[in-house]
Structure 1
Amino acid sequence: MDLLNLVKEAGVIGAGGAGFPTHAKLTSQAEYILLNGAECEPLLRVDQQLMELFPDQIIRGLEAAGRQVEARKAIMGIKGKHKKVIGLMRERISALGLTDYMEVMELRDIYPAGDEQVLVHELTQRIVPEAAIPLKVGCVVINSETALNICRAIAGKPVTETYITVAGDIPQRMTLKVPVGVSIQEVIGQCGVDNPDDYAVIDGGPMMGSVLNQVNGYVTKKSKGYVLLKKDHFLIRKKSVSLERARVIGKTACEQCRMCTDLCPRYLLGHNMQPHKVMRALSYNLEDVKDQQIAQLCCECNACELFSCPANLHPRSVNSLYKRKLAEQGIRYQPLEMDFQARPARDYRLIPSKRLVMKLGLSAFDQPAPMTQVEFRPEYIRIALQQHIGAPAIPVVEIGEKVKAGQLIGKIPDNSLGAPVHSSFEGTVAEIKDHSILIKVGSYV
């Protein structure tokens, strides 16, 4: 079986972002294959540890992906502060005889270094055009865990687990290998918190993650972190503001200082993303949303909302509001040009990670979260049929059916973008509804 089908059948998706099916990404041709090892979200510690634990598999996965897209060069982007990991990866690249094809480049410790378009520019000096993807400038980007999963797919192993950092204001910060479908409550229960009712949980990183209203969900293939903070923490209060409240605050208080624009990562790459103009439209009750199409250029990194704005307003939320309105009317941003230059001031406006952590009130929690071996023994697991961009998987099992660990339980619909899903434990199918499959874990009979 060729690589594309191995990756497709294993259900490999982008492990560090929106979950784009990897087999679809690898059907293209590119000049560069880039490994995103930046992990720029504060407190998360997955990628750096995976590269230290599984260097050869990640290198082999990246190489296989690169050969598939016919890339002439593979580049790993790792923050320069991770000197041990950089040294190890360079040593293993040499030992595997890949120095002519693959190299490690050091990234600055900035936010958001892991944004695909920022990463492409930092590693190749190319700028992805507005409303485009890295392939437009000859690049395909995968992250460290995705490369690891590609290597495992070659060995015939489907994606049934993910790696998650549990961090924040907790006694035990750790990174765990977690079977897909385990409850979030069971994962965060490992961190030593006596009274979880005192805490709020951010699903993902502190910048782009959202506060869970109820901690009753389940781990998916793209889960990367859970950050626990006291409910009165600044970050929880800021992220808990409703979209309507953010709209009212922005409409009455924005002073048009344009700091949100001047520090916007996409604006600094030369794009026309100008959050202060979207805030202005809100203030003046401009109802013609087609004139606010620049909101669709927002990558929702939250730098404007959580770092830049001196008045503590919500420009990212307002961008999201206009993006929703534009989508409802079927309006899509149309770029006027395809060639871009980084703005001259870019190097002086990058956001240092340490300053960001301090601004978020997380300095005391910016500690190691070492890989910790935990054996999960859930009574039930719930496998989502849509853990990825595209159509939900179609169940191929029935209620009452016995399944094995690693067994296919959901396939890609015909002629659709998607990814299959597999059971992470053996057990019995107990329920199929709400785009998910509930499995009672137990011995296979």
Structure 2
Amino acid sequence: MSLLDLVKDAGIIGAGGAGFPTHAKLASKAEYILMNGAECEPLLRVDQQLMILFPDEIIKGFAEAGRLVEAKKAIIGIKGKHKEVVSTLRERISALQLGDYVEVKELADMYPAGDEQVLVYELTGRVVPEAGIPIQVGCVVVNSETALNIYNASLGKAVTEKYITVAGDIPNRLTIKVPVGTPVIDVLKLSGIENFDDYTVIDGGPMMGPVMSSLDGYVTKKNKGFVILKKQHYLIRKKSMKMDQTKRINRASCEQCRMCTDLCPRYLLGHNMQPHKMMRTLNYTLADTEEQKISYLCCQCNLCELFSCPAGLYPKAANQYIKQKLMEQNLRYQPVQKEYSPRKSREHRLLPSKRLVARLGLRDFDKPAPMTEIGLNSEQVSIATSQHVGAPAVPVVSVGDHVQAGQLIGKIPENSLGAAIHASIAGTVVECGNGFVTIRRD
């Protein structure tokens, strides 16, 4: 069986948060394959630890994926501040005799170094076109945990476990491996907190992760971390603002200073993303939909809203609102430019991560979250049939069936983009429907 088929059968998706099926990405041919080890979201610690714990597996999986897409070079991007990780990877690349193919490039400690298009530019000097994807400039990008999963797939092992950082204003900061489908609340309680009445949880990093409205969910292959903060924390209050509230605040206070645009990562790459114009449109109810279409170029990094705006306004929310209105009218952005180059001011406007952490009020919580071996044996797991980009998996098991860990429980629908799902524990299927396959542990 080919590596591509093994990756497809293993149900691998982007582990960095996007959830795009990896087999579809690796079906392309590229000049470069890039590994995103930047992990630029504050407080998250998964990738940097995996590259220390499993360097050989990650390097081999990454190199195998590179040869699959016929890339002439495989480049690992990681922040230079992670000196031990950089040293370990370079040592193991040499020991594995892959130095002529796999290379480590150090990234500046800035946000958002892990944005896919920013990473492509930093590692290759190429700018992905507006509304485009890396393959348009000859690049395929995978996350470091995805590379580990590719290696495991080459050995016939499906994705049944997920590495997650639990961080924030908590007694115990840690990173842990848990079965896919584990109740989120079971993971959160490892923080040392039992009663969450006074806390709110961010699903993912503090910049791009949404506030969780309920803690009743289940771990998916996309989860990267949970940030737990007191309800009165600045970041929670900011992220909890409703759209109607943000519109009123924006209309009352925006003075068109254009700081949101001047620091926008996509604008600095040469794209036409200009958040201050979306604020202007919202404030003055401008009707030129052609100008509004640039809202599609937003990468949702949240820099404009959580750092750039000196008045603490909500440019990203304005952009989201306008984009939603355009989508309802089926109006899409059509790029005009053919070639792109970064703006001359870019190198002077990159945001140091430490400044961002301080602005977010997270300096006291920006501490190690060590990998911890804890046997988290939840009584049952609920594995979502839709935890990836594309069509939901079609269950191939029924209530009452006994399954083993790693067994296929959901397949990709015919002629569809999607990903397979597998049992993460041995047990009995007790529910199959409503978007989940629930297994009770033996």
TM range (shorter): over 0.9
SS state at 1:371 partner = coil
**Alignment partners' CA distance in 1, 2:173 and 2:323:** 36
- Map of 1:164 onto structure 2: 164
In 2, are the aligned partners of 1:130 and 1:338 still within 8 Å (CA)? no
CA distance in 2, matches of 1:2, 1:244: 51
Assess if the C-alpha contact under 8 Å between 1:410 and 1:421 holds in 2. yes
Report the equivalent of 2:323.
Answer: 323
Structure 2 counterpart of 1:74: 74
Q: Distance in 2 between matches of 1:406 and 1:236?
A: 37
Cα offsets for 1:293-337 (capped at 9, x unmatched): 000000000000000001111111111111211211111110001
Residue of structure 1 equivalent to 2:277: 277
Match of 2:127 in 1: 127
- Equivalences for 1:47-66 in 2 at 5 Å? 47-66=47-66
- Calculate percent identity across the aligned residue pairs: 65
User: Is the partner of 2:17 in helix, strand or coil?
Assistant: coil
Superposition TM-score, scaled by structure 2 size: 0.99
Q: Post-superposition shift, 1:287?
A: 4.1
CA distance in structure 2 between the partners assigned to 1:246 and 1:290 by the alignment: 23
Matched residue type, 2:256: Q
Aligned counterparts, 1:259-408, within 5 A: 259-408=259-408
Paired position in structure 1 for 2:209: 209
1:235-284 C-alpha deviation (Å, 9 max, x unpaired) = 00000001121122112211100000000000000000000001100001
Query: Quick check: 329-338 or 56-65, which moved more?
Result: 329-338
* Partner SS for 2:197: helix
| Structure 2 residue aligned with 1:410 | 410
> Structure 2: how far apart are the matches of 1:386 and 1:157?
20
Residues in 1 aligned to 2:300 and 2:165: alpha-carbon distance in whole angstroms: 21
Q: Which amino acid aligns with 2:283?
A: S
User: Match of 2:348, SS?
Assistant: helix
Partner amino acid, structure 1, of 2:40: C
Once the two structures are superposed, the pairs formed by residues 232-251 of structure 1 within 5 Å of their partners are 232-251=232-251
Give 2:218's aligned residue.
218
Contact 1:289 1:322 in 2 (8 A): no
CA contact (8 A) 1:165 1:174 kept: yes
The answer to whether the Cα contact below 8 Å between 1:44 and 1:167 also exists between their aligned partners in 2 is yes
Supply the distance in 1 between the matched residues of 2:41 and 2:48 (Cα, whole angstroms). Answer: 12
Deviation of residue 4 (structure 1)? 0.6
Q: Cα offset for 1:285?
A: 1.1
Structure 2: distance between partners of 1:103 and 1:438: 42
Matches of 2:377 and 2:257 in 1, distance apart? Answer: 53
What are the ranges of 5 or more consecutive residues in structure 1 without an aligned counterpart?
none
Q: Distance in 1 between matches of 2:243 and 2:426?
A: 42
Alignment of 1:81-96 (within 5 A): 81-96=81-96
Taking the aligned partners of 1:356 and 1:104, their CA distance within structure 2 comes to 25
1:363-387 alpha-carbon deviations (Å, 9 max, x no partner): 0000000000111111121100011
Q: Distance in 1 between matches of 2:5 and 2:274?
A: 42
Runs ≥4 residues deviating over 6 A: none
1:291 deviates by 3.1
Query: Which residue is 1:155 aligned to?
Result: 155
For residues 249 and 437 of structure 2, the distance between their equivalents in structure 1, rounded to whole angstroms, comes to: 41
CA distance in 1 between partners of 2:83 and 2:31 (Å): 27
Q: CA deviation at 1:54?
A: 0.2
Separation of aligned partners in 2, 1:436 and 1:248 = 39
What per-residue deviation string (whole Å, max 9, x for no partner) do you get for residues 198-234 of structure 1? 1100000000001111111000001000000000000
> SS in structure 1 opposite 2:104?
strand
CA distance in 1, matches of 2:354, 2:16: 22
Identify the residue that residue 2 of structure 2 maps to in structure 1: 2
Q: Which residue of 2 aligns with 1:111?
A: 111
Name the amino acid aligned to 2:178.
Answer: V
Q: Secondary structure at the match of 2:428?
A: strand
* Structure 1 contact 47–145 (Cα < 8 Å) conserved: yes
* Cα distance in 2 for residues equivalent to 1:430 and 1:321: 41
Distance 1:409 1:245 in 2: 43
SS across alignment from 1:158 = coil
Corresponding letter in the other structure for 2:92: R
Partner of 1:36: 36
TM-score when normalising by structure 1: 0.98
Which SS does the other structure have where 1:185 is aligned? Answer: helix
Deviation at 1:338, TM superposition (A): 2.0
Matched to 1:162, the amino acid is: K
Name the structure 1 match of 2:20.
Answer: 20
Cα contact 1:289–1:325 (8 A) shared by 2: no
> Counterparts of 2:402 and 2:14 in 1: how far apart (Å)?
29
User: CA-atom RMSD, angstroms?
Assistant: 0.8
Deviation at 1:289, TM superposition (A): 3.6
Cα distance between partner residues in 2 of 1:249 and 1:342:
32
Partner of 2:421: 421
* One-letter amino acid matched to 1:262: D
**Alpha-carbon distance between aligned partners in 2 of 1:31 and 1:417, rounded to the nearest angstrom:** 24
Amino acid at match of 1:209: G
Please state how far the C-alpha of 1:46 moved relative to its aligned partner. Answer: 0.4
SS of corresponding position for 1:292: helix
Shift of 1:433: 2.2
> Do 1:290 and 1:326's aligned partners in 2 also have CA atoms closer than 8 Å?
no
1:126-178 CA deviation, whole Å, 9 max, x = no partner?
A: 10010000111111000100000000000000000110000000001000001
Report the counterpart of residue 189 of structure 1 in structure 2: 189
SS of 1:197's partner is coil
Q: 1:361-412 deviations in whole A, cap 9, x for unaligned?
A: 0000000000001111111211000110000000101111111111111000
Letter in 2 for 1:236: I
Matching residue of 1:99: 99
1:63 deviates by: 0.4
In 2, Cα distance between equivalents of 1:315 and 1:167? 27
One-letter amino acid matched to 2:62: L
